[in-house]
Amino acid sequence: MDALLWTIIGFLSGSIPYSLWIGRLAAKRDIRQFGDHNPGAANVLHAAGWGWAILALLLDGFKGAIPIWIAWFYLKIDGWEILPIALAPVAGHAFSPLLRWRGGKAVAVTFGTWAGLTLGAGPTVLGLLMGLFNAVVRTSGWAVMFSMVGFGAYIYRVYAPVHPEFMAVWLGNLLILAWKHREDLRRAPGLKNPLARIKP
């Protein structure tokens, strides 16, 4: 019952569209009119600037981290029961009932998920991988996928020997991200030219 309750709580927490609300509060605009039309922190940046975008990013991360952290570290819900709880905020964000099941791309809440399970270790590794692949891969969806594959290798090596269920969390997380980035994944990834911005 605890696992079911916290799965529901995690899904509802993940479904809260903080970025959309912040855009309306700060810029009096629907952020889905900008960029990739996604209700996420990247379009808060386009609509309202860096300060509000960082706030949106943090809220989207914490809405995943907090329910998972409570279930995992405080209530000690472990084993395979943690699987639906850990995936619930990502699913809630990606398929928010508050947005007619059309949520965001779930990158920020993915960081929150792994913060809830691993504290700072997972988000740090994932962040470094995201930075690397976004610097060299032209298509953002492919950068996310490559980062998640590298992150899966890290989870397998460090956490899976003790918590094999973490690999199932990673796989479910990867599949949701792949679905939300499916338009990008239809295109070739391509590589960025590091010299392109250097003027002769």
Judged against a pLDDT cut of 60, whether residue 180 lies above it is answered with yes
Question: Is 162 inside a domain boundary?
Answer: yes
Distance CA 142, CA 137 (A): 7
- Please tell me the predicted confidence (pLDDT) of residue 191: 86
Question: Is 36 inside a domain boundary?
Answer: yes
Q: How many of the other CB atoms lie within 10 Å of CB of 75?
A: 14
Judged against a pLDDT cut of 80, whether residue 194 lies above it is answered with no
Question: Is 197 inside a domain boundary?
Answer: no
189 against 36, higher pLDDT: 189
Mean local confidence (pLDDT), 82-94: 97
- Please tell me the predicted confidence (pLDDT) of residue 33: 83
Give the CA radius of gyration of the chain: 17
**Residue 111 is part of which domain span?**
2-185
Question: Is 195 inside a domain boundary?
Answer: no
Mean local confidence (pLDDT), 101-123: 96
- Please tell me the predicted confidence (pLDDT) of residue 77: 95
Q: How many domains does the chain have?
A: 1
Cβ proximity of 155 and 197 under 8 Å: no
Q: Tokens at residue 67, please?
A: 């329910």
Locate tokens 């947005």: which residue? 99
What is the reported pTM?
0.91
Question: Is 200 inside a domain boundary?
Answer: no
Question: Is 193 inside a domain boundary?
Answer: no
Supply φ then ψ for residue 137, to 5 degrees: -105, 130
Question: Is 198 inside a domain boundary?
Answer: no
